[in-house]
Amino acid sequence: MDNGFDNSISGGADLRPDADERHMARAIDQAYIAEENGDVPIGCVIVYEGQVVAKAYNQREQLHDPTAHAEIIALTQAAEFIGNWRLHGCTIYVTLEPCPMCAGALVLARMDRLVYGCDDPKTGAVRSLYNIVQDERLNHRLEVTAGVLADKCTAQLQEFFKRRREEKRNSEFL
């Protein structure tokens, strides 16, 4: 059954899987910056014509802004770089499946392609709970590749939340 997702990360004549992994590794690097700043480690990069034109990480805690998701910040950067809010020709790489807000923003920005690391069973709006980016009722749809470096993305998030739970538990004993 074709669910509209490309979960393959195989080699062969198509060099895109190698590029996808390389760009996802850059998104993971951005996620570490979020973690260093006390935020949930989610990072992303946007690529246009083979060049990284935006890179961002979650900054909700840092900016005290519920909309300061990595994707939203990167979209703003990419639009500024390109000089247009329509981001045709762009691919976004994000470590976690986008939430409804971010998925909607990707559609509104007219992104060509979304590549993400791991699924988000609690708020995922690409496959887990909704499929906003490929909803035929909307005027634009994105190509989606899921599962790129998923194990690394998942491990990064799990370690972050494990540490956060331990810190909370330890602070309760003080």
Give the pLDDT confidence score for residue 169 in this predicted structure: 81
Q: Which of 2, 3, 20 is nearest to 133 (CA)?
A: 3
Task: Give dist(CA 40, CA 144) in Å, integer.
Answer: 23
Q: Where are the beta strands (DSSP E) in the chain?
A: 5-6, 43-48, 51-57, 90-96, 113-118, 143-146
Task: Give dist(CA 21, CA 82) in Å, integer.
Answer: 24
Which residue in the list 36, 49, 61, 71 is annotated as catalytic?
Answer: 71
Backbone angles phi, psi at 166, to 5 degrees: -65, -40
| Contact by Cβ (8 Å): 56, 43 | yes
Alpha carbon of 65 to those of 29, 61, 99: distances in Å?
22, 7, 15
Task: Give dist(CA 9, CA 30) in Å, integer.
Answer: 22
Q: Which of 47, 16, 44, 54 is nearest to 117 (CA)?
A: 44
Give the pLDDT confidence score for residue 11 in this predicted structure: 33
Give the pLDDT confidence score for residue 37 in this predicted structure: 95
Give the pLDDT confidence score for residue 14 in this predicted structure: 43
Give the pLDDT confidence score for residue 10 in this predicted structure: 33
Q: Is residue 71 annotated as part of the catalytic site, yes or no? A: yes
Consecutive 10-residue averages of pLDDT for the chain (174 residues): 40 63 98 96 97 98 96 98 98 98 98 98 97 97 97 96 86 68
Report residue 97 as tokens: 């499946």
